[in-house]
Amino acid sequence: PSSSCSVYYIIMKRGALVQLKCAIQHYDWGVSGQTPSAVAELGSLNREEKIDEEKPHAELWMGTHLSGLNVIKETDSSDSSSSLKQHVEANAKETLGEKCLKRFGNDLPFLLKVLSVAKALSIQAHPDKQLAEKLHEEKPHMYKDANHKPEMALAVTEFEAMSGFISEPKEALEKCPELKLLTGIRLEEMDAMKEDKKAQMKYLFTKVMLAEKEEVAKHVRALVKRLKEAEGKGGNGDDERDRLALRLNGQYPDDVGVMCAYLLNYIKLQPGEAVYMAANEPHAYLDGECVEVMATSDNVVRAGLTPKARDTEILCDMLTYKLGKPEVLTGDVIDKNTKRYSPPFDEFELEVISCSKNETAELTVSQGPSILLVKNGKGTLNDDVRIEKGSVVFANANEKMTLTNSDDGEVSIYRAQVNTRVF
């Protein structure tokens, strides 16, 4: 019929779709519970509880990672017997599908999150599998699993981040004289390495990050003093790196991460734009809201802009020192209801699904599992699973799903699934 949206989905057996009660993380960089945010709103609707105004709301977790346990709503209890993880493991062939089970083992290979960022997250990178296994064995209290953690962030609002190294390491020293004083690096030294810019950046970044804390504080204060004086005279106000350095110092005074404003790419994503980070690439989210999907892991190696434990030497050693701006994805149109963001990682991709008033949409069929988060609107999946804003649904592999809109406005859904290139 003409009112039907074109895509390909329906559902066969009951139990192939389960509703989830998800986990909220209250990290201190999150948005205050007294301020509207996606994590607070979607989390309270999902969990059917009032927003806790006393806590920051940083992340909403959807998946099987034990640091953010998801339970199946029908049982509505918090013991592990009703967790999504146990459901997936006990029914691995049906939930994950044979190809996914063979490729990734008997756990969900991806984790879906919503982030509401009020102040900068740490300067960080995520280890590759080999390093993750080593760190988990040596420091299990800091590194809770042995998996790698490539990830992708899709902007929901304007979203600011630092991601990857700038193309010209020498320019950082020219732009920020305090960096030169902190590291003691002369421009002639950089010129001697001009054939190997990765080596230049490794030398510079390692010198900065491993500098003595007192020395860092002294030179950050000098930088801030210079910038504020220039601002007072009407200069430097238009330089986004200088403004960022001042902002970071306001959040984390005298921290070495302030200097990273001159070493890392500063990016502003508009809603609908996404950026991905491979293992061993430095980044820090700064402000805004995003939907994030990643391999199932919580491993983070930190080195700045954080009150948490730092592993600076490990971070400096593990990075690839790849230079240049990150690739920004705008999504591929699959059909009139579906846009797909596919990073170069096997574990995951993200679909954004929309269905207008009085319409139905056949969703794409995945040979692996998927998790669906309802961002707006209400309707049904396969006529018998009612969904509304904040609903989170786990779908078995190979299931057909039909989305029917029963709202006055549009239904919009984020769907995380295994990257189609695996199949």
The two tokens of residue 312 are 């600076």
In whole angstroms, give the CA distance from residue 378 to residue 403: 10
Integer Rg of the chain from CA: 23
Entry field: residues in the chain: 423
User: If residue 179 lies in a helix (H) or strand (E), which one and from where to where?
Assistant: helix 177-183
- Reduced to 3 states (helix: H, G, I; strand: E, B; else coil), residue 317 is helix
**14, 247, 302, 340: the active-site residue:** 302
Angle at 344 between CA 342 and CA 348, to 5 degrees: 55
In whole angstroms, give the CA distance from residue 58 to residue 117: 6
Alpha-helical runs (H) found in 276-342: 312-318
Does the active-site annotation cover 302? yes
In whole angstroms, give the CA distance from residue 29 to residue 161: 14
Q: Are strands 402-405 and 378-381 parallel, antiparallel or unpaired?
A: antiparallel
Q: What share of the chain is helix, strand, coil (3-state, %, to 5)?
A: 30, 30, 40
User: If residue 45 lies in a helix (H) or strand (E), which one and from where to where?
Assistant: helix 38-47
In whole angstroms, give the CA distance from residue 243 to residue 225: 13
Catalytic residue numbers? Answer: 302
